[in-house]
């Protein structure tokens, strides 16, 4: 296990019955958890990878009653077994005992954006995963790249105003802007997931796109002049990350510059699928650097929204120009694995 010392964990873990696993789990888990922590994995996401790591590192063989001894190899071979369900339960219990309270936190998986309605900024939280029940204890999961026919983006606005009290033109503008932002955020989420990333540099670049857009929305919703200024810098970095990801995929290298115009022009034909004029709605990179430190004249929400909408279009157009798996219109049928059963 790279980055962790398992010399203190007994090698004879393999072959134990599930009733004997308790002491071994207690001894192994602090080591395994430190390894996952070193990977910066969120705490609430660690139980399953920890259980898998336990099997990969320590379990030499498994013999269930009336069956031959088997050696776990591929993860897919043991995820649906009852013995792994028991192990997962013990690992999950260890985490809940070691980190009480923290394990009960449910991270918000929705994409955060902002919309401006009647001159006021509001957050919009867009579901990026859709579930619907299937047959035979299964479910269908999808990662849509846009709003579906049975959805209304304005329903995702957080603490929205009473739209019926606004002018009709403002009501329509609010619905249109919510749809624009939601469509863009879903497209970006789905397409980033679909980019093949065997190249570590490409993986690092694409990983910076969504967090920067998220952080820009977080800063903007504070509506303080300094936070608005810093939000411009996050938009700059999101656009940079997208354009550099495209360059890395096409050529195996990217140009080390903050200049978005220069990056756009450096992309080999065909150019990114957005108008170059959109870049004019963003601060030039020198100004973006000043804004990062709370300097410069751009402080208003309305100015930010111009650049925010442009940044979403820039990132979206850049991603549409990349090679990737088309996840946006696909659905995946999954079955309930034993370790997914509700806790008693």
* CA–CA distance, 78 with 135 (Å, rounded to integer): 23
> What's the pTM value of the predicted model, to 2 decimals?
0.77
pLDDT for residue 251 is more than 90: yes
Q: What are the domain boundaries of the chain?
A: 11-106, 111-320
Closest C-alpha to 246, from 276, 232, 266, 262: 266
Q: Are 50 and 36 within 8 A, CB to CB?
A: yes
For the stretch 179-229, pLDDT in tens is 999 999 999 999 999 997 788 999 999 999 999 999 999 999 999 999 999
pLDDT for residue 152 is more than 80: yes
pLDDT for residue 338 is more than 60: no
DSSP string, 108-141: --SEEEEEEETTEEEEEEE---EEEE-SSSEEEE
What the block records as the tokens of 324 is 């990737």
């Amino acid at each position: 296990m790279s980055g962790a010392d398992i010399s203190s964990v007994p090698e004879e873990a393999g072959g134990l019955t599930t009733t004997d696993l308790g002491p071994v789990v207690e001894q192994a888990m602090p080591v395994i958890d430190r390894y996952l922590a070193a990977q910066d994995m969120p705490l609430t996401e660690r139980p399953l990878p920890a259980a898998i790591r336990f099997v990969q590192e320590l379990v030499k063989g498994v013999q269930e009653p009336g069956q031959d001894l088997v050696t776990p190899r591929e993860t897919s071979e043991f995820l649906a077994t009852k013995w792994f369900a028991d192990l997962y339960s013990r690992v999950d219990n260890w985490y809940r005992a070691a980190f009480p309270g923290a394990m009960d936190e449910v991270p918000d998986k929705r994409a955060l954006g902002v919309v401006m309605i009647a001159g006021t900024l509001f957050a919009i939280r867009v579901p990026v995963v859709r579930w619907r029940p299937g047959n035979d204890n299964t479910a269908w999961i999808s990662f849509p790249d846009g709003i579906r026919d049975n959805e209304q983006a304005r329903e995702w606005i957080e603490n929205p105003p009473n739209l019926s009290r606004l002018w009709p033109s403002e009501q329509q503008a609010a619905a249109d802007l919510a749809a624009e932002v939601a469509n863009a955020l879903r497209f970006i989420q789905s397409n980033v997931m679909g980019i093949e990333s065997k190249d570590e540099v490409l993986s690092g670049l694409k990983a910076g796109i969504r967090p920067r857009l998220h952080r820009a929305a977080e800063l903007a919703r504070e509506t303080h002049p300094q936070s608005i200024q810093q939000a411009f810098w996050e938009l700059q970095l999101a656009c940079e990350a997208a354009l550099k990801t495209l360059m890395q995929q096409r050529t195996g290298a990217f140009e080390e510059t903050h200049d978005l115009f220069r990056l756009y022009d450096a992309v080999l034909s065909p150019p990114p699928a957005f108008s170059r004029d959109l870049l004019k709605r963003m601060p030039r990179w020198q100004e973006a650097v000043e804004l990062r430190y709370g300097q410069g004249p751009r402080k208003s929400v309305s100015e930010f929204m111009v650049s925010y909408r442009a940044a979403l279009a820039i990132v979206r157009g850049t991603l549409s120009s990349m090679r990737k798996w088309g996840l946006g219109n696909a659905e995946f049928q999954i079955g309930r694995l034993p370790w997914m059963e509700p806790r008693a």
